[in-house]
Structure 1
Amino acid sequence: MPAVPSSSHRYEQLAAEWAEGIAHGTLRPGERLPSVRQTCQAKGLSPSTVFQAYAVLEERGLVQARPRSGYYVAARPAAKPRPAPVAPPAGGPRPVAVSELLVELLGSTRDADVVPLGSAFPAPALFPFDALARSGARAMRRLKPAQITGALTAGDEALREALRHRHALQGVALAPEELVITHGALEALNLCLQAVTRPGDVVVVESPTFYGALQAIERLHLRALEVATDPVTGVDLAALEALLQRERVAACWFMTRFQNPLGALMPTDHKQALVALLARHGIPLIEDDVYGELHAGLQRPPPAKAFDAAGLVLHCSSFSKCLAPGYRVGWAAAGRFARDVQRLKMMSSLSTSLPAQRAIADYLAQGGYDRHLRQLRQALAASQRRARGLIARHFPPGTRCTQPEGGYFLWLELPPAVDALALHRLALAQGISTAPGVLFSADARFTHHLRLNVGHPGDARLDAALRWLGEAARRCVTDNVAP
């Protein structure tokens, strides 16, 4: 006999059904949703389940409550056009030298007095640090001395088992020996890249790409080759296939879910096609998936790793963006390269902090993680909507802004008259940080683009900072000179 869905599953399924109707236009802006009584009678649900579904849709900005009238589909706000896909630079693979610029431009994000639009992390207030501290104390009291050395390189067994379970829920079956716990996702990514490349090799990255990938390529003396990337659907598979036929490629480093900086979400069938394409060529895919839990929709999209039958996908993630910033607990599920990654881990940092691992494992065992994630996703989605509205009102005509389905970054393509690097430096003098587009390519070519971190819903300074940036960008256009 099939299991009866829980009440939480029922309200999520109802909300997903209505959200799909809104997305496809069968429920139009201004149209009234079925009443609680009608829905209860038609679907056999309780009133509390229906109200929960309404609340989810209201939190996502899809419906509005009208007193003594019911719930109506919300009007869709006018939005800036999304940035167009940008062709990668001509000339083939190139060496990378971005570290000095990164140190100069991102050092300001550590200053608590600076509005953190250039930061890589959401607001600290969004995370359950008190609960994590209690979990850490409880877990360390129960720790047996033999466990300290028994969990050195691969990581704490309880945490690895919890991760295997969560991956299984996403359709990813992992062997116990495949997981290696690391110092955050960045160590996992660097170890995986080192395991599948040699100095001088070519690594394909998105265009624009995460600057951490460029740093890793620079450190290992590799060459970067950018591939055209759509702001909505991610890597252009036709362009990638043409590139693979032309160049000898050692690996690809892509974000398939809520890519940094674009926020692109590769459709599920594209992920499947990507994995199949790389398998035909025998090329490893390093899947940077640190934002995968931050989907704004009700259904979590699967990672590319879910389609990996050849062991060529090295899936990397961490808890830094979704649960425990500063704990530096990440992992690699490295497929056929797991033993190489574990060997490199042993030769470099040996092990990841056991107290941090135990704290997170205990927290996961308490059962509150998914509730925390729901609250986090709702807060980030609401903050993103608010920020897009401010950008639409205050930034100059011709500005294009992404509309991601998750995460907390917005990518802005400003009018060509705006020098984003000069705007960044002017904003910093006003106590506002940004991440200018020159950080996100090997040749510093996104000169009139900005990545903005809008994952700070509790920061009252955010609105004023976005207004200031927009007005400063407008002055650049009016004067037709850089600030």
Structure 2
Amino acid sequence: MNIQSKPFLYLQIADRLEKQIIDEVLKAGDKLPSVRMLCREHGLSMSTVTQAYYELESRSLIETRPRSGYYVCIPPVKRLAIPETSSPSAINGLLTPDDLVSQVYMDREDPKNTLFSLGMPHDDFLPIAKLNKGLIQAMRGLPASGTSYEPTQGNEDLRREIAKWSFGWGADFSEKDLITTAGCINAISYALMAVSNPGDTIAIESPAYFGILQLAKSLGLNVLELPTNAITGIEIEALKKALASNKIKVCLFVSNFNNPCGSSMPDEHKKEAVRLLEHYHVPLIEDDIHGDLYFSNNRPTTCKTYDESGLVLYCNSISKTLAPGYRVGWIAPGKFKDQVLKLKRYHALSSAPLTSEVVSIFLKNGRYENHLRKLRQSLYHNSRKYIGAIADYFPEGTRVSQPQGGYFLWVELDKAVNTVDLYQQAMKQHISIAPGRMFTLQAQFDHCMRLSFGLPWTSSLEKKLQQLGKLATNIQGASSSSL
């Protein structure tokens, strides 16, 4: 079930006006009703209407004209087409982007670089002072100030708070169902080792997070990339055909705000995917690391929401929401709990008590939800501004995804633009991007890239996007003139 909290009245008004702008009931250049008129006609206070208009301004949907009023801007999501549904080969991919991934990761070492390439919250978006207070509280409350080993399954208070938190999207967890891990990728690693063996085939989205590709190859797995829609995620018909071949041992999906293209599976697709996997007795590892970063009023469900057989191994962490360096994650492994617990005992023995306790405290006292509200709002506003900048500065024909949460935009350029070349040219100006080649084991996505909107919006950041767009335009133009 979904626990829904009604937004503030000014947000309700802003959302309704935004829908009219997106649906083009209110068109670019239209004048909005005056603040006084809305107050009079709808019985609202001046402060409520003014706040609603300020909110729409921050979303780059309306603008103020001196002595004239509020007017609708051109909605950027209407100006750019969505990237095409991917069409990977039905054979296992063999190309590995390891060198490129390593190169992009090294960009972090130079503080001069603008990191559009890496998806994580900027320090400005994190409650660092409150986290530090939480550490002091944790040291005072834990036995031996947190220097002792904790049980292999993990901090019981943290597991209980996670179970309470997950009730909002329909999970019926108890603390006994969860095992803590060192982040989400560690949870996925345990899950893969628990349900597969070297030589098995894993089915994933395409494009896919490069960390999952590298992990799968390191475990000796064959990777089958499935067609994926930039809005609705994995193509269900393609999944049906793949499962019918009886070659798939396990599936791994990012069901909400996929990395890199930002897609989200609708509820009916999640239900259908779980039903299909139960029919074929194929486990599903679900990476829901971005699920709490939704831009709508309600947290989306997960595939785990509809799991009745225990075949879904649900993985998550606070690495994208609260504290990447804390390395606090968890897995709800369903019927594979004993195998995962054994693997954790072999590979880690226990999790870090101090950071686990801090996250437990944040969940328990409501600080996590308060922080998330601010983070979600910042990321939403960023996504609008980034899309607007891409529409303004990138070459004609550019396509961009329209994520409803998370950190990422998937940008599809003209096929004449090789984004590895673009990356190399951009780095000369200290601009780091993630070329599309990083997100596949096949010969595809050479003209695509992933951009993170996890950096605070500033005028200098906008100039970097303008520079990036100019470079892409120049590459496209040079290619056209050589034909």
- Greater shift after overlay, 69-78 or 400-409? 69-78
The 3-state SS of whatever aligns with 2:248 is coil
Return the letter of the residue paired with 1:119. Answer: L
- Opposite residue 306 of structure 2, the aligned amino acid is F
Contact conserved, 1:184 with 1:319, CA < 8 A, in 2? Answer: yes
Q: 2:80 is aligned with what amino acid? A: K
TM-score (norm 1): 0.89
Q: Distance in 2 between matches of 1:21 and 1:388?
A: 19
Instruction: Say whether the 8 Å CA contact 2:149–2:350 is kept in structure 1.
Output: no
**Cα distance per residue 1:184-243 (max 9 Å; x no partner):** 111011111111111100000111111011011111000000100001111000111011
CA contact (8 A) 2:255 2:302 kept: yes
Taking the aligned partners of 2:197 and 2:157, their CA distance within structure 1 comes to 34
List per-residue Cα deviations over 1:32-85 (Å, max 9, x = no partner).
Answer: 469689679968x87766666555555444555678988776542352212111
TM-fit CA distance, 1:138: 1.1
Q: Which residue in 2 is equivalent to 1:82?
A: 82
SS in 2 for 1:392: helix
Give the corresponding residue for 1:257: 256
The reply to whether residue 403 of structure 1 matches residue 398 of structure 2 is no
Percent of residue pairs identical: 36
Structure 2 letter corresponding to 1:144:
P
- The CA distance in 1 between the partners of 2:87 and 2:346, in whole Å, is 39
Q: Mean alpha-carbon deviation: is it higher for 57-66 or for 183-192?
A: 57-66
For residues 308 and 37 of structure 1, the distance between their equivalents in structure 2, rounded to whole angstroms, comes to: 50
**Are residues 337 and 26 of structure 1, via their aligned partners in 2, closer, same or farther at CA, if it must alter by over 3 Å?**
farther
**Equivalent residue number for residue 130 of structure 1:** 129
Give the TM-score normalised by the residue count of structure 2: 0.89
Q: What amino acid does structure 1 have at the position aligned with 2:262? A: G
Match of 2:272 in 1: 273
- Please state how far the C-alpha of 1:474 moved relative to its aligned partner: 1.2
Cα distance change on mapping 1:72 and 1:148 into 2, 3 Å:
same
Alignment of 1:144-223 (within 5 A): 144-145=143-144, 151-223=150-222
The offset of 1:442, in angstroms, is 0.9
For 1:388 and 1:17, locate their aligned partners in 2 and report how far apart those are by CA, in whole Å: 21
Which amino acid in structure 1 is aligned with residue 400 of structure 2? C
In the alignment, residue 285 of structure 2 is paired with which amino acid? I
Q: Does the alignment pair 1:442 with 2:441?
A: yes
Where 1:456 maps in the other structure, the secondary structure is: coil
> Which residue does 1:368 correspond to in 2?
367
Q: After superposition, give the CA deviation of every residue in 1:142-192 in whole Å (9 maximum; x if it has no partner).
A: 112498657332111121111111100111111322211111111011111
Distance in structure 1 (CA, Å) of the matches to 2:33 and 2:301: 30
Deviates more, 1:382-391 or 1:218-227: 382-391
Pairwise mapping of residues 84-99 of structure 1 onto structure 2 (< 5 A)?
A: 84-90=84-90, 92-95=91-94, 97-99=96-98
Q: Which runs of 5+ in 2 are unaligned?
A: none
Separation in 1 of the partners of 2:20 and 2:398?
Answer: 30
Contact conserved, 2:119 with 2:454, CA < 8 A, in 1?
A: no
Aligned residues: 477
2:99 corresponds to:
100
Letter paired with 2:154: G
Letter in 1 for 2:141: R
Q: 1:217 to 1:428 in 2, by over 3 A?
A: same
User: Structure 1: how far apart are the matches of 2:52 and 2:433?
Assistant: 36
Contact 1:159–1:360 (Cα < 8 Å) also in 2? yes
Q: Structure 1 278/10 Cα, relative in aligned 2: closer, same or farther at 3 Å?
A: farther
TM-fit CA distance, 1:97: 3.4
Tell me which moved more, 70-79 or 257-266: 70-79
Tell me which moved more, 473-482 or 260-269: 473-482
Residue 442 of structure 1 aligns to a residue whose secondary structure is coil
SS in 1 for 2:279: helix
Change (3 A) 1:418 1:281: same
Which stretch shifts more, 359-368 or 417-426?
359-368
